[in-house]
Amino acid sequence: MIRTFLQLAGLFSALSLSAFGGGKVVLPSMHQAAVSEYAWMTDQQFVDLFSISMAAPGPSMMVVSLVGLKACLSYGFWFAILGAFIATVAMFVPSSILVFIAGKWWDSWEESPWRRSIQQAIMPISTGLILAATWIIAKTSIHSIPTAIMAAVALALMLFTKINPVLMMGVAGAISWFFLR
């Protein structure tokens, strides 16, 4: 049990400091650790939990809490909550401390030409990582023609309309429940 706590803390604090471009870029690592390396959950469960966290309000990376919860679920209710708490703290605190520290030097940094360089350099990397994350989600979530159509429609809606993503996911769930159950 203590080992699971330490694994959660180690994994998510490392990912916290690597999440250049937002939490979603570390999703591939989270998936690899939770499903393959530590075997906390199945592939399907990971994708389900990710989708639940996306459909719920809050910063997009609340899936971290759910991974912590599932990793410790077999130890009982309170330990599951504790696991979720440890994972969440490990994900949010290290990057926040960095903001706090870096803020002190930011004034002298802001005008540096390297700032733009680094910003432009980060973007293709985070794009590649989000692409890898999408690949993982697609592999499990698209398993039939109806799900493929729904994903394509969702993509088109996100690109071409200003629909609220939470509303969209809710409607997709309702439609799918109505037709596929």
**66-105 residues near another protein, rule: CB under 8 A:** 66, 69-70, 73, 77, 80-81, 84-85, 88, 92, 95-96, 98-100, 102-103
Among 21, 38, 43, 79, binds another protein (CB under 8 A): 21
Residue 8 or 62: the one with the smaller Cβ distance to another protein is: 62
Tell me the C-alpha distance between 84 and 82, whole Å. 5
Would you count residue 7 as binding another protein (CB under 8 A)?
no
**Where do we find the tokens 């439609």?**
175
End-to-end CA distance of the chain: 38
Among 4, 28, 35, 72, binds another protein (CB under 8 A): 28
Among 24, 40, 71, 72, binds another protein (CB under 8 A): 24
**136-165 residues near another protein, rule: CB under 8 A:** 137-138, 140-143, 146-148, 150-159, 164-165
Q: Which two tokens stand for residue 146?
A: 């109806």
Backbone angles phi, psi at 142, to 5 degrees: -100, 100
Among 1, 6, 39, 52, binds another protein (CB under 8 A): 52
Task: Tell me the CB-side half-sphere exposure of residue 126, using CA atoms within 13 A.
Answer: 14
**Where do we find the tokens 């394509």?**
152
Q: Which two tokens stand for residue 152?
A: 């394509």
Residue 1 or 125: the one with the smaller Cβ distance to another protein is: 125
Among 12, 23, 34, 71, binds another protein (CB under 8 A): 23
CB 33 within 8 A of CB 11: yes
